[in-house]
Protein backbone atom coordinates (compact mmCIF):
# COMPACT_ATOMS: atom_id res chain seq x y z
CA UNK A 1 0.00 0.00 0.00
CA UNK A 2 1.27 3.43 -0.97
CA UNK A 3 1.74 5.51 2.20
CA UNK A 4 3.88 8.39 0.92
CA UNK A 5 3.03 11.88 2.21
CA UNK A 6 1.29 12.96 -0.99
CA UNK A 7 -0.96 9.92 -0.83
CA UNK A 8 -1.98 10.76 2.73
CA UNK A 9 -2.50 14.41 1.79
CA UNK A 10 -4.73 13.36 -1.12
CA UNK A 11 -6.94 11.29 1.17
CA UNK A 12 -7.19 14.06 3.76
CA UNK A 13 -7.92 16.73 1.15
CA UNK A 14 -10.53 14.49 -0.49
CA UNK A 15 -12.16 13.96 2.90
CA UNK A 16 -12.24 17.70 3.67
CA UNK A 17 -13.28 18.97 0.23
CA UNK A 18 -15.95 16.34 -0.35
CA UNK A 19 -17.26 16.51 3.22
CA UNK A 20 -17.69 20.26 3.09
CA UNK A 21 -19.02 20.46 -0.47
CA UNK A 22 -21.54 17.62 -0.25
CA UNK A 23 -22.81 18.95 3.07
CA UNK A 24 -23.29 22.36 1.42
CA UNK A 25 -25.11 20.75 -1.52
CA UNK A 26 -27.59 18.98 0.77
CA UNK A 27 -28.27 22.24 2.59
CA UNK A 28 -28.75 24.05 -0.75
CA UNK A 29 -31.22 21.38 -1.84
CA UNK A 30 -33.19 21.62 1.41
CA UNK A 31 -33.16 25.42 1.53
CA UNK A 32 -33.79 26.15 -2.17
CA UNK A 33 -35.43 22.98 -3.45
CA UNK A 34 -34.41 19.69 -5.05
CA UNK A 35 -33.84 21.27 -8.46
CA UNK A 36 -31.21 23.68 -7.16
CA UNK A 37 -29.41 20.90 -5.32
CA UNK A 38 -29.35 18.77 -8.46
CA UNK A 39 -28.00 21.61 -10.59
CA UNK A 40 -25.04 22.43 -8.34
CA UNK A 41 -24.51 19.01 -6.79
CA UNK A 42 -22.02 17.76 -9.39
CA UNK A 43 -19.64 20.70 -9.50
CA UNK A 44 -16.09 19.26 -9.45
CA UNK A 45 -14.88 18.21 -6.00
CA UNK A 46 -13.25 14.79 -5.72
CA UNK A 47 -12.35 14.73 -9.44
CA UNK A 48 -10.53 18.02 -8.91
CA UNK A 49 -8.48 16.51 -6.09
CA UNK A 50 -7.84 13.23 -7.89
CA UNK A 51 -6.60 14.73 -11.16
CA UNK A 52 -4.55 17.35 -9.33
CA UNK A 53 -2.73 14.71 -7.30
CA UNK A 54 -2.19 12.53 -10.36
CA UNK A 55 -0.47 15.54 -11.88
CA UNK A 56 1.61 16.09 -8.74
CA UNK A 57 2.72 12.47 -8.41
CA UNK A 58 3.12 11.72 -12.12
CA UNK A 59 3.08 14.67 -14.53
CA UNK A 60 0.56 17.18 -15.91
CA UNK A 61 0.43 15.30 -19.21
CA UNK A 62 -0.29 12.03 -17.38
CA UNK A 63 -3.16 13.69 -15.50
CA UNK A 64 -4.46 15.12 -18.78
CA UNK A 65 -4.43 11.61 -20.27
CA UNK A 66 -6.19 10.28 -17.16
CA UNK A 67 -8.95 12.84 -17.66
CA UNK A 68 -9.73 11.26 -21.01
CA UNK A 69 -11.52 8.34 -19.34
CA UNK A 70 -13.76 10.59 -17.23
CA UNK A 71 -16.60 10.93 -19.82
CA UNK A 72 -16.89 7.15 -20.15
CA UNK A 73 -16.77 6.74 -16.36
CA UNK A 74 -19.43 9.43 -15.92
CA UNK A 75 -21.67 7.61 -18.39
CA UNK A 76 -21.56 4.61 -16.06
CA UNK A 77 -22.09 6.84 -13.04
CA UNK A 78 -25.24 8.31 -14.58
CA UNK A 79 -26.55 4.75 -14.97
CA UNK A 80 -25.96 4.31 -11.22
CA UNK A 81 -27.98 7.46 -10.55
CA UNK A 82 -30.71 6.39 -12.96
CA UNK A 83 -31.09 2.98 -11.31
CA UNK A 84 -31.37 4.65 -7.91
CA UNK A 85 -34.03 7.06 -9.19
CA UNK A 86 -36.04 4.20 -10.73
CA UNK A 87 -35.86 1.86 -7.73
CA UNK A 88 -35.83 4.22 -4.73
CA UNK A 89 -39.60 4.78 -4.64
CA UNK A 90 -40.24 1.07 -4.11
CA UNK A 91 -37.12 -0.10 -2.29
CA UNK A 92 -36.00 2.99 -0.35
CA UNK A 93 -32.45 2.71 0.98
CA UNK A 94 -32.18 -0.84 -0.37
CA UNK A 95 -32.11 0.71 -3.86
CA UNK A 96 -28.53 1.79 -3.18
CA UNK A 97 -27.48 -1.87 -3.22
CA UNK A 98 -29.18 -2.40 -6.59
CA UNK A 99 -27.61 0.77 -8.04
CA UNK A 100 -24.16 -0.09 -6.70
CA UNK A 101 -24.32 -3.63 -8.09
CA UNK A 102 -25.29 -2.24 -11.50
CA UNK A 103 -22.44 0.27 -11.34
CA UNK A 104 -19.92 -2.43 -10.37
CA UNK A 105 -20.91 -4.73 -13.24
CA UNK A 106 -20.55 -1.88 -15.72
CA UNK A 107 -17.34 -0.47 -14.19
CA UNK A 108 -15.54 -3.82 -14.00
CA UNK A 109 -14.47 -3.79 -17.68
CA UNK A 110 -13.00 -0.30 -17.15
CA UNK A 111 -10.66 -1.53 -14.42
CA UNK A 112 -7.74 -2.13 -16.77
CA UNK A 113 -8.23 0.98 -18.89
CA UNK A 114 -5.43 3.54 -18.64
CA UNK A 115 -6.40 5.73 -21.55
CA UNK A 116 -9.45 6.34 -23.71
CA UNK A 117 -10.30 8.56 -26.65
CA UNK A 118 -11.98 11.48 -24.93
CA UNK A 119 -14.10 12.34 -27.99
CA UNK A 120 -15.56 8.83 -28.13
CA UNK A 121 -16.13 8.98 -24.38
CA UNK A 122 -18.00 12.27 -24.68
CA UNK A 123 -20.21 10.88 -27.46
CA UNK A 124 -21.05 7.80 -25.37
CA UNK A 125 -21.75 9.97 -22.32
CA UNK A 126 -24.04 12.32 -24.25
CA UNK A 127 -26.05 9.47 -25.79
CA UNK A 128 -26.49 7.54 -22.54
CA UNK A 129 -27.21 10.57 -20.35
CA UNK A 130 -29.65 12.05 -22.87
CA UNK A 131 -31.58 8.77 -23.11
CA UNK A 132 -31.68 8.28 -19.34
CA UNK A 133 -32.78 11.88 -18.77
CA UNK A 134 -35.51 11.49 -21.39
CA UNK A 135 -36.82 8.37 -19.65
CA UNK A 136 -36.81 10.05 -16.23
CA UNK A 137 -38.53 13.21 -17.49
CA UNK A 138 -41.08 11.58 -19.79
CA UNK A 139 -41.79 8.21 -18.19
CA UNK A 140 -41.41 8.68 -14.44
CA UNK A 141 -43.74 10.72 -12.31
CA UNK A 142 -41.17 12.68 -10.31
CA UNK A 143 -42.14 16.13 -9.09
CA UNK A 144 -39.50 18.63 -8.08
CA UNK A 145 -39.64 19.38 -4.38
CA UNK A 146 -39.64 22.84 -2.88
CA UNK A 147 -37.51 23.75 0.10
CA UNK A 148 -37.97 21.68 3.22
CA UNK A 149 -37.30 22.41 6.83
CA UNK A 150 -34.30 20.81 8.48
CA UNK A 151 -32.42 21.33 11.71
CA UNK A 152 -28.84 22.34 11.00
CA UNK A 153 -27.23 21.61 14.31
CA UNK A 154 -23.47 21.30 14.52
CA UNK A 155 -23.90 17.59 15.19
CA UNK A 156 -26.06 17.10 12.08
CA UNK A 157 -23.74 19.05 9.77
CA UNK A 158 -20.71 17.26 11.22
CA UNK A 159 -22.37 13.90 10.65
CA UNK A 160 -23.10 14.78 7.03
CA UNK A 161 -19.51 15.88 6.52
CA UNK A 162 -18.10 12.74 8.14
CA UNK A 163 -20.33 10.43 6.10
CA UNK A 164 -19.75 12.10 2.73
CA UNK A 165 -16.06 12.82 3.33
CA UNK A 166 -15.52 9.28 4.57
CA UNK A 167 -17.15 7.73 1.50
CA UNK A 168 -15.10 9.81 -0.92
CA UNK A 169 -11.82 9.42 0.99
CA UNK A 170 -12.29 5.65 1.19
CA UNK A 171 -12.80 5.32 -2.55
CA UNK A 172 -9.78 7.54 -3.22
CA UNK A 173 -7.67 5.37 -0.90
CA UNK A 174 -8.81 2.17 -2.62
CA UNK A 175 -8.23 3.64 -6.07
CA UNK A 176 -4.70 4.75 -5.14
CA UNK A 177 -3.59 1.79 -3.05
CA UNK A 178 -4.90 -1.52 -4.32
CA UNK A 179 -3.39 -2.07 -7.73
CA UNK A 180 -4.39 -1.19 -11.27
CA UNK A 181 -7.55 -3.32 -11.50
CA UNK A 182 -9.29 -2.16 -8.32
CA UNK A 183 -7.72 1.24 -8.67
CA UNK A 184 -9.18 1.64 -12.13
CA UNK A 185 -12.59 0.49 -10.99
CA UNK A 186 -12.86 2.65 -7.88
CA UNK A 187 -11.41 5.69 -9.63
CA UNK A 188 -14.78 5.81 -11.45
CA UNK A 189 -16.90 5.36 -8.30
CA UNK A 190 -19.84 7.84 -8.17
CA UNK A 191 -18.88 8.98 -4.67
CA UNK A 192 -20.48 12.44 -4.87
CA UNK A 193 -23.72 11.11 -6.39
CA UNK A 194 -23.88 8.29 -3.86
CA UNK A 195 -23.16 10.55 -0.88
CA UNK A 196 -25.63 13.24 -1.98
CA UNK A 197 -28.43 10.77 -2.66
CA UNK A 198 -27.79 8.92 0.59
CA UNK A 199 -27.75 12.06 2.74
CA UNK A 200 -30.88 13.50 1.09
CA UNK A 201 -32.67 10.16 1.49
CA UNK A 202 -31.58 10.09 5.13
CA UNK A 203 -32.72 13.63 5.90
CA UNK A 204 -35.67 14.21 3.53
CA UNK A 205 -36.77 10.86 2.17
CA UNK A 206 -36.39 9.00 -1.11
CA UNK A 207 -38.87 11.21 -2.98
CA UNK A 208 -36.78 14.31 -2.36
CA UNK A 209 -33.54 12.52 -3.31
CA UNK A 210 -35.11 11.23 -6.53
CA UNK A 211 -36.23 14.75 -7.42
CA UNK A 212 -32.71 16.09 -6.91
CA UNK A 213 -31.27 13.18 -8.90
CA UNK A 214 -33.60 13.98 -11.79
CA UNK A 215 -31.82 17.30 -12.33
CA UNK A 216 -28.41 15.94 -11.38
CA UNK A 217 -28.48 13.59 -14.37
CA UNK A 218 -28.12 16.25 -17.12
CA UNK A 219 -26.26 18.64 -14.79
CA UNK A 220 -23.47 16.05 -14.55
CA UNK A 221 -22.28 17.37 -17.92
CA UNK A 222 -20.25 19.99 -16.05
CA UNK A 223 -17.88 17.19 -15.02
CA UNK A 224 -17.35 16.41 -18.70
CA UNK A 225 -16.57 20.09 -19.33
CA UNK A 226 -14.06 19.98 -16.48
CA UNK A 227 -12.39 16.82 -17.81
CA UNK A 228 -12.13 18.20 -21.35
CA UNK A 229 -10.63 21.41 -20.01
CA UNK A 230 -8.08 19.50 -17.89
CA UNK A 231 -7.16 17.42 -20.92
CA UNK A 232 -6.36 20.64 -22.81
CA UNK A 233 -5.05 23.01 -20.12
CA UNK A 234 -2.83 20.84 -17.93
CA UNK A 235 -0.18 20.34 -20.65
CA UNK A 236 -0.43 23.99 -21.74
CA UNK A 237 -0.63 25.89 -18.43
CA UNK A 238 0.37 23.43 -15.70
CA UNK A 239 -1.58 22.17 -12.71
CA UNK A 240 -2.40 25.45 -10.94
CA UNK A 241 -3.69 27.50 -13.84
CA UNK A 242 -5.13 24.40 -15.52
CA UNK A 243 -7.21 23.54 -12.45
CA UNK A 244 -8.43 27.13 -12.06
CA UNK A 245 -9.37 27.44 -15.74
CA UNK A 246 -11.08 24.05 -15.75
CA UNK A 247 -13.13 24.77 -12.63
CA UNK A 248 -14.13 28.15 -14.05
CA UNK A 249 -15.23 26.40 -17.26
CA UNK A 250 -17.38 23.93 -15.29
CA UNK A 251 -18.93 26.72 -13.23
CA UNK A 252 -19.65 28.84 -16.32
CA UNK A 253 -21.27 25.82 -17.96
CA UNK A 254 -23.57 25.34 -14.95
CA UNK A 255 -24.51 29.02 -14.93
CA UNK A 256 -25.26 28.96 -18.67
CA UNK A 257 -27.23 25.73 -18.35
CA UNK A 258 -29.13 26.93 -15.28
CA UNK A 259 -32.03 28.59 -17.18
CA UNK A 260 -32.64 25.36 -19.11
CA UNK A 261 -32.20 22.98 -16.17
CA UNK A 262 -34.40 25.10 -13.92
CA UNK A 263 -37.26 24.74 -16.44
CA UNK A 264 -37.14 20.93 -16.42
CA UNK A 265 -40.52 19.49 -15.49
The predicted model gives 44-66 an average pLDDT of 85
Residue 10 belongs to a domain: yes
What integer pLDDT is reported at residue 242 of this predicted model? 96
What integer pLDDT is reported at residue 200 of this predicted model? 92
What integer pLDDT is reported at residue 179 of this predicted model? 57
What integer pLDDT is reported at residue 238 of this predicted model? 95
Residue 147 belongs to a domain: no
- Domain count within the chain: 1
1 pLDDT more than 80: no
Residue 40 belongs to a domain: yes
224 contacts 78 by C-beta, under 8 angstroms: no
Residue 161 belongs to a domain: yes
The pTM is what?
Answer: 0.90
Among the ranges 1-10, 37-46, 112-121, which has the highest mean pLDDT value?
37-46
* 237 band by pLDDT with thresholds 50, 70 and 90: very high
What integer pLDDT is reported at residue 5 of this predicted model? 72
Residue 115 belongs to a domain: yes
The predicted model gives 31-60 an average pLDDT of 85
264 pLDDT more than 80: no
What integer pLDDT is reported at residue 32 of this predicted model? 86
Among the ranges 5-9, 56-60, 134-138, 187-191, which has the highest mean pLDDT value?
134-138
Q: 202-218 burial, b for 16+ CB within 10 Å, e for fewer?
A: ebbebebbbbbbbbbbb
Q: By CB neighbour count within 10 A (0-12 exposed, 13-18 middle, 19+ buried), where does 34 fall?
A: buried
The predicted model gives 239-262 an average pLDDT of 93
Residue 252 belongs to a domain: yes
The more confident residue out of 28 and 57 is 28
What pLDDT, in 10s, does the model give residues 22-34?
A: 999 999 888 888 8
Could you write out the DSSP letters of every residue in 106-122?
HHGGGGG-----HHHHH
For residue 38, the enclosing domain spans 5-142+152-261
Residue 131 belongs to a domain: yes
Amino acid sequence: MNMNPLFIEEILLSFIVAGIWITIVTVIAERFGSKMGGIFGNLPSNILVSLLFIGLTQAPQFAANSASIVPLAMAIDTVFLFVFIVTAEKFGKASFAVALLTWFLLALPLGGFQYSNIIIGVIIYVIITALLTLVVVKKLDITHMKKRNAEYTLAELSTRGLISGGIVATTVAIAAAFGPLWGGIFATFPAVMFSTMYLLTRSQGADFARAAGKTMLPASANIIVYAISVNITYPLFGLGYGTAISYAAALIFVLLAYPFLSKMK
